[in-house]
Structure formats: C-alpha cells, structure tokens
Amino acid sequence: MPLMVYINGKFYNKNNAKISIFDHGVLYGDGVFEGIRSYDGLIFKLREHINRLYNSAGLIRLNIPLSKPKLIKDIIRTLKKNKLKNAYIRLAVTRGPGDLGLDPRKCKNGIVFIITDKIKLYPHKFYERGLKIVTARTRRNLPVAIDPRIKSLNYLNNILAKIDAIDAGVEEAIMLTFDGYVAECTGDNIFMVNKNKLITPPSSIGALEGITKDAVIRIARRKEIKFDEEKIRLSDLYSADECFLTGTAAEIIPVVEIDKKKIGTGKPGLVTKLLEEEFHKLTKKDGVRYSI
Ligand code: PXG
C-alpha cells in the first residue's frame, strides 16, 4: 500500500497529497512544523511536541484549526493507516491559501498535514566513532528578527548552514549567534562536558527549545550530573572534554572533531554514553501509546 498522507482530516495517497501553490506556506514559508518519532508503538514526548507546535503557531499568530486532543487522535489515525510502529512523524500547519501579498489576513483556512514514514537514521558508525563537524559560515537568525524558538516552515537559515556542512564534507555544522556564541546545529542542539559538568547554551540566545535537549537535562538532574545553561564560545568547545548533539532524529550523537580539532580523547566520552543509555530507556516509556 502506498504511503497515506493526512491533509485537513482526509487521507490521500502520497502521490495525490497536494496543497495549493497559493498557500502562504509555499509562497513565504509561513507556517510551523514538528518532527516527532515513534518507538515501537510509543509516540515519544508527543505532548511536548504538540505544545511546542501550538507555541510556535502562537508566536506567528497562526490559529491551528484543531484542538490538541483532536490533533493527537489524528496523528495516531495516520500511524495506524500506514501500519507504522516505528515512525518519523512530520506534522505541519501552514497559513493556507491567500493572495500574492504578504497579508496573513487573506489566508482564511490553515492547512494541517501529517506525514508518517520510516525514519532515516545516521549510520551506526557515527554513534560508535562520533561525528566530525564544522562551524558554519552562516550565523543563526537573530531572535529579534525570526526567533529560532519558532519551529517555522522557513528553514532557509538552517539550510544555508547545512550547505556549509556539505561543502566541508561533514554531516552537521555549528551555528553561531550574530555575536559569535555557540547557538546550535542545523537540526540539533549542542552540549559540551567539561570537568564532569554538562553545559548547553540557553535557548534565549537563539536556539530551538529542543525536546531531546530537555530530556537530556532532566536525565542529568536525576543522575546528579552537574549542569548549567551558559553561553559557550567556540574556544570553550574546542577545549571541552566531550561534545554531543541532541535531536529527534539523531537522539544523542557524540562529536569527536570540530573544525579539524580533536575534542577530548577523540572518542565518544563517558558522560555522553551514560546519557545515551538513559535516553534509550526513556524512549520505551515517555510518550503516548498506540496500537496498529
Ligand atoms: N535545533 C533545530 C534547529 C532543529 O530543527 C533541534 C534543534 C532538535 O530539537 P528536538 O526537539 O528534535 O530535540 C531541531 C529539530 C530532520 C529533523 O529531518 C530535524 C529535526 C527534528 C526531526 C527531524 O532533519 N530538528
């Protein structure tokens, strides 16, 4: 059976799942989205993802034409329809079709679509050996321009940084704030460990409030690992004992080289490994269950 996609309450075969070219999501990247994952019939941290979606929508004054419980029901319907127990869930809300001007008031009906598919993962070797990454030339959006806490359909800032990564022959790139502090990567948050203290930049400097990041912080508290949110300079990162990235797709992935400089021993670190283990336990219990 072909993949079935949900658009505003109806299901369409992947090839017939279409929205208008006058949709402001298409014309301007005017909309918000979420990337969610299910593990063996458990939608990991679903409520947190739904809350972030509604917060993102609120920040761009976009009305989501569904209640949170209805949206959760429809995500589960989509997973069942596609018989997926382990899935990547892409949920988006666009401003909807309008005219060729910017005015969002011309868009009367927002579009909600849900795509569920098999998840594409980083090759196993990256988890074993760690990732080599670089610093992107492209700086992160200024929070007073487009707040990176909005998970908007306009990901050009991240795509430009991803191109910097591709040009350097690596998978990910660190994005700095306009004034040179470490913000995050193109699709992942970043952590470092120094003298057994876990540090990540505060989201307020210009980073997404990652749900995986939040899960890692909670694990660290529970395991009594010292933790702080601090501004990080590149030089701090270069001299860190450990570094890792967090994201829905990547989970927790060690970083062993940044801008050709070896981090710590050049191998995935012990704190990173402990957090990875604990995170995997969490993916078996923290979320909303469904059966197919
Ligand atoms: N920063 C940015 C800019 C992101 O887009 C994260 C951090 C991590 O957040 P979560 O909540 O996932 O821990 C993201 C999330 C993909 C993909 O297909 C990207 C994300 C999530 C899922 C899939 O590349 N990015």
Domain with residue 15: its CATH number is: 3.30.470.10
Q: How many domains does the chain have?
A: 2
Do 137 and 276 belong to one domain?
Answer: yes
H-state helical runs in 155-233: 156-167, 211-222
Of 37, 90, 117, 248, the residue with max ligand 1 atoms within 8 A of its CB, to mutate for a pocket test, comes to 248
Whose alpha carbon is nearest atom 7 of ligand 1?
188
Instruction: Tell whether ligand 1 has an atom less than 6 A from the beta carbon of residue 248.
Output: yes
Do 13 and 59 belong to one domain?
Answer: yes
Do 61 and 129 belong to one domain?
Answer: no
Q: Measured in angstroms, how far is the CA atom of residue 48 from the centroid of ligand 1?
A: 13
The answer to whether 274 and 223 are in contact (CB under 8 A) is yes
Of 117, 149, 189, the residue with max ligand 1 atoms within 8 A of its CB, to mutate for a pocket test, comes to 189
Do 79 and 153 belong to one domain?
Answer: no
Q: Is residue 58 part of a domain?
A: yes
- Nearest ligand 1 atom to the CA of 215 is 13
End-of-domain residue from the set 64, 89, 117 = 117
pLDDT at 257 over 90: yes
Tokens of 259: 């801008």
Nearest to 110 by CA among 28, 23, 6: 23
Question: Residue 113: beta bridge partners?
Answer: 7, 92
Residue 124 — very low, low, confident or very high, per pLDDT cuts 50/70/90?
very high
125 Cβ contact list (under 8 Å, min separation 6):
none
Do 21 and 112 belong to one domain?
Answer: yes
- Nearest ligand 1 atom to the CA of 212 is 13
What percent of the chain lies above the pLDDT cut of 90? 98
Q: Measured in angstroms, how far is the CA atom of residue 23 from the centroid of ligand 1?
A: 24
The answer to whether 165 and 195 are in contact (CB under 8 A) is no
Residue 120 — very low, low, confident or very high, per pLDDT cuts 50/70/90?
confident
End-of-domain residue from the set 70, 96, 117 = 117
Instruction: Tell whether ligand 1 has an atom less than 6 A from the beta carbon of residue 141.
Output: no
Mean pLDDT (whole number) for 91-120: 96
Q: Is residue 236 part of a domain?
A: yes
263 Cβ contact list (under 8 Å, min separation 6):
237, 238, 240, 241, 242, 243, 255, 256, 257
pLDDT tens digits, residue range 197-237? 999 999 999 999 999 999 999 999 999 999 999 999 999 99
Q: Is residue 291 part of a domain?
A: no
Nearest to 216 by CA among 256, 246, 248, 253: 246
Do 92 and 183 belong to one domain?
Answer: no
CA distance 175 to 292: 39
The answer to whether 1 and 13 are in contact (CB under 8 A) is no
Q: Is residue 288 part of a domain?
A: no
pLDDT tens digits, residue range 75-93? 999 999 999 999 999 999 9
Domain with residue 186: its CATH number is: 3.20.10.10
Q: Measured in angstroms, how far is the CA atom of residue 171 from the centroid of ligand 1?
A: 14
- The full DSSP string for 232-284 is -BHHHHHT-SEEEEEETTTEEEEEEEETTEEPTTSS--HHHHHHHHHHHHHTT
**Model-level pTM?**
0.97
Q: Which domain holds residue 100?
A: 4-117
Whose alpha carbon is nearest atom 15 of ligand 1?
187
CA distance 242 to 255: 7
Instruction: Tell whether ligand 1 has an atom less than 6 A from the beta carbon of residue 200.
Output: no
Of 157, 208, 214, the residue with max ligand 1 atoms within 8 A of its CB, to mutate for a pocket test, comes to 208
Q: Is residue 246 part of a domain?
A: yes
Mean pLDDT (whole number) for 150-167: 98
Do 137 and 92 belong to one domain?
Answer: no
pLDDT at 1 over 90: no
Q: Measured in angstroms, how far is the CA atom of residue 147 from the centroid of ligand 1?
A: 15
Instruction: Tell whether ligand 1 has an atom less than 6 A from the beta carbon of residue 189.
Output: yes
pLDDT at 19 over 90: yes
End-of-domain residue from the set 92, 117, 142 = 117
Around Cβ 97, how many Cβ atoms within 10 Å? Answer: 20
Do 74 and 150 belong to one domain?
Answer: no
Instruction: Tell whether ligand 1 has an atom less than 6 A from the beta carbon of residue 201.
Output: no
Q: Is residue 187 part of a domain?
A: yes
